Amino acid sequence: MAFKTNGSSHKNGIKNEVRVAKKLQKVGQKLFPNLSKDFQVNLAGGTQNKADIILEDVSHKIPVSVKRKDRLDKGSYDHVNSSAAVKQTPSLAPICNEVKQIVNSHNSNQLTVWSKTAINDVRKACNDVFEAAMKKMTSSELSKILKDHINDKNDGFTVVVSDISTQKDYKFDYNDMPLKNSIDNHTPKLVWGRGKTSCKVVFEDDNGTIHDHGIRIRVVLNNGVNALLGTSNSANKTSMPVVKIQQDRVDNVISAMQKINKVQTF
């Protein structure tokens, strides 16, 4: 699966957050009955804010994370996109220096122009390093990433998933997600397929039952190899290893929340 590194996804996301914010200003009291009539809807976002939107009045402050989908049954959205998760995980932390060594070894002749072959060689070498590190990762390390970077950071959040194809928005509390329960109480396991730097995460409970919430983990360069080598034409001029934890089958997430009557559509 290819990832956009030209900034278009970010721009589309911001445009959707503005749309959702305007909608919430109109229907906020219906969705959040505890808010007073004087509540405000404020755009947050930025690298320092987990919340994209904050609803607040004198006595309430509700952080909202907005997920934009062209269609619910296509693609994924990020739960985690973190370089800190790499540095904090013993089996992954060495890849930061290994990536630097790869670039240096391919640039021993002080190249000013990287050939297509050299770029592909660096990409393959990085992917090999990422795959090897992921295969060393233990269930306890994975559990810590999930707890620290998903459950802890989303505690108390409202999630809004936007289906652009239907212009419908689905609102639910993160703490009601079955995923949260599995992260707290079940053992995560990696299930490898054909991907070198991507695999499914499932959860095993105390009875040996496997719970699949459509979660996938990737270790990748956040802005791609061209940005790493300084050859990118986009606004992204640097690149580093990150852990991405993605939510596949978003339509199944909404269906699961509807079955337990924990989602509202607006």
Sheet with 40-43, side-by-side order of all strands = 40-43, 53-56, 61-69, 158-163, 168-173, 264-265
User: 3-class DSSP state for residue 189?
Assistant: strand
User: 3-class DSSP state for residue 80?
Assistant: strand
pLDDT digits (tens, 9 = 90+) for 210-251: 999 999 999 999 999 999 998 888 777 899 999 999 999 999
Q: 40 burial class (0-12, 13-18, 19+ CB within 10 angstroms)? A: exposed
DSSP run (H or E) holding 61:
strand 61-69
Residue 140 lies in a domain: yes
Percent of the chain whose pLDDT exceeds 70: 93
Q: How far apart are CA 89 and CA 245, in angstroms?
A: 14
Please state whether 142 falls in left (phi above 0), alpha (psi between -120 and 50) or beta.
alpha
Residue 222 lies in a domain: yes
Averaged pLDDT, 15-33: 96
Q: How far apart are CA 188 and CA 202, in angstroms?
A: 6
Residue 184: strand pairing partners: none
Residue 3 lies in a domain: no
Q: How confident is the model at residue 7 (pLDDT cuts 50, 70, 90)?
A: very low
Residue 220: strand pairing partners: 242
Residue 2 lies in a domain: no
Instruction: Calculate the CA dihedral of residues 193, 194, 196, 200 and round it to 10 degrees.
Output: -30
Residue 180 lies in a domain: yes
Q: How far apart are CA 87 and CA 172, in angstroms?
A: 31
pLDDT digits (tens, 9 = 90+) for 49-69: 789 999 999 999 999 999 999
Nearest in space to 13 (alpha carbons), one of 83, 57, 75: 75
Averaged pLDDT, 91-112: 85
Q: How confident is the model at residue 11 (pLDDT cuts 50, 70, 90)?
A: confident
Split into its structural domains, the chain has a count of: 1
Residue 41 lies in a domain: yes
- pLDDT at position 149 over 90: yes
Contact of 131 with 197, CB cutoff 8 Å: yes
DSSP run (H or E) holding 265:
strand 264-265
Contact of 258 with 265, CB cutoff 8 Å: no
Averaged pLDDT, 27-33: 96
pLDDT, mean over the chain:
92
- pLDDT at site 2: 38
Domain containing residue 117: 8-265
Residue 1 lies in a domain: no
Residue 133 lies in a domain: yes
Nearest in space to 139 (alpha carbons), one of 72, 186, 83, 208: 186
pLDDT digits (tens, 9 = 90+) for 160-210: 999 999 999 999 999 999 999 999 999 999 999 998 999 999 999 999 999
